[in-house]
Structure 1
Amino acid sequence: MNPEQLRNIIEAALFAAADPLNADRLQALFDEEQQPSRDTLHQVLLQLQQDYAGRGIELKEVASGFRFQARQEVSPWVSRMWEEKPQRYSRATLETLALIAYRQPITRAEIEDIRGVTVSSNIVKTLQERDWIRVVGHRDVPGRPAMFATTRHFLDYFNLKSLDELPPLAELMDIDKINEELDLRDPSAGQPMGDAAGDREAVGDMDVSHDPSAGQPMGDAAGDRAATEEMDASAESVAEEVDTEAAAAATADDAGAAGYDPAFEPTES
């Protein structure tokens, strides 16, 4: 197979896919005798990224693989194709998600200790239903409480390749200041386009408008996703309530008592 034909097949597959495609899925498109090596696929993907540089769409690598998506800067125009009401998330929901993202694996009781208030079962249920968090084990203490961590879908949703790409807490701003300074009409960089209107929810007092176009993949997957800014803002809100360094140390100590492996990367959905 000549390089141009290979490039066209990969490009078409990425455009048609509803979800990100990794090397295994791309290789599976070909018969064994025509199957490109991973190095060859890598070169094709790099070439496609260069080809789409400076255009309205981009080839983006996230946790689950590669996908085409609309660029963030064109969102104000592309978003006009969707007529949706603002998505609503409570401050408690966002703070809980931020704590799980930054302190995983973490139990519900540990979240409550840091936040100083009870974590509603509905909050945990909401985050699990959106496939943003999952149970990854149980703490070796009386009652064996479940430990929560984020999923690969969480990384894909927030346009992240790994947890290492989470912004440092020190760089985050107060949530109220973000609401004042940012236009949250395009919060979901890197998320799927399509039938986003069918999946939204109102839980609490925070309006976060959902734009299914900003940085969205070109497949048919639904774009019901919250902003990366939401998570960033909530993390800072948590940081204002507690000494984050102390919280991290406490969680690390607990994880050690439970036999937790620091090399664990809890992103598989």
Structure 2
Amino acid sequence: MSPDNDVDFQHGLRIAEALIFASERPVPAARIQLALPPGIEAQTVLTALAARSAGRAVELVEVGGGFAFRTALDLAPAITRIVEVPRRLPRAAMEALSIIAYHQPVTRAEIEEIRGAALAQTSLDALLDAGLVAPRGRKEAPGRPTLWGTTARFLDQFGLKSLNEMPRREELVSHDLAVMELAPPPTGAPPLIAEGQHAA
């Protein structure tokens, strides 16, 4: 019996779809596997679910270490005319985020050294409130300063499967993370863009 006709497989397909739809964050395949009927492989289910949603208004994508439903990119011009104006991050916060992304784990002092300017607590707080960065332990140095790194939300926000998909620094030239196109956040809240940038 083919998977498409197998009752258990179809049930697993519905479970995976519901789990991904209900989650605020991308769902890892391993977590989906735990919810599936015995003998049903998560990867097979996800492949079928991606094929089923391909070309539709909402498609299954792999992002941020898991799977999530996202609005098809070609529909962006039609829907951005009526969505809420995006919430903006300060330019300094976006600069700090770019440094953290490419140099992590990194301390606040190291961020300031690379930027050539002090990093205000409000900028760091903005990144923390947005869930884009998180503490990654402490550096073995005098004072044991906190090390900072990006989060799964960062990957999700920028539409990346992993940090390996980030552009090489030499490819960015004058374009940093502040001008990268940002994916809509999973909760439906307006996307984050840098001050001075405009929504798509």
Scaled by the length of structure 1, the TM-score of the pair is 0.62
Q: What are the superposed Cα offsets for residues 41-81 of structure 1, whole Å, 9 maximum, x if unpaired?
A: 10111122122223332211122411111022211112234
Q: Quick check: 1:17 aligned with 2:23?
A: yes
Q: Quick check: 1:72 aligned with 2:73?
A: yes
Unaligned runs of 5+ residues in structure 1 are 212-269
| 1:135-146 to 2 correspondences below 5 Å | 135-146=135-146
**Residue in 2 that maps onto 1:42:** 43
Count of matched residue positions in the alignment of Structure 1 and Structure 2:
193
Identify if the C-alpha distance between structure 1 residues 50 and 162 changes in structure 2 by more than 3 Å, giving closer, same or farther: same
Q: 2:185 aligns with which of 169, 187, 191?
A: 191
- Is the Cα contact below 8 Å between 1:87 and 1:207 reproduced in 2? no
What is the rounded CA distance, in whole Å, between the counterparts of 1:77 and 1:209 in structure 2?
16
Q: What are the superposed Cα offsets for residues 108-162 of structure 1, whole Å, 9 maximum, x if unpaired?
A: 1111111111111111111112121111122222222111111122112222121
- Quote the RMSD (CA, aligned, Å): 2.8
Scaled by the length of structure 2, the TM-score of the pair is 0.81
Matched residues, percent identical?
Answer: 36
Q: Which runs of 4+ in 1 moved over 4 A?
A: none
Shift of 1:107: 0.9
Q: Specify the code of the residue in structure 2 equivalent to 1:207.
A: G
Q: Specify the code of the residue in structure 1 equivalent to 2:196.
A: D
- Is the Cα contact below 8 Å between 2:21 and 2:68 reproduced in 1? yes
Larger relative contact order (C-alpha < 8 A, sep ≥ 6)?
Answer: 1
What is the rounded CA distance, in whole Å, between the counterparts of 2:143 and 2:90 in structure 1?
29
| 1:169-180 to 2 correspondences below 5 Å | 169-175=169-175
What is the rounded CA distance, in whole Å, between the counterparts of 1:50 and 1:173 in structure 2?
37
**Residue in 1 that maps onto 2:32:** 26
**Residue in 1 that maps onto 2:84:** 83
Shift of 1:193: 5.0
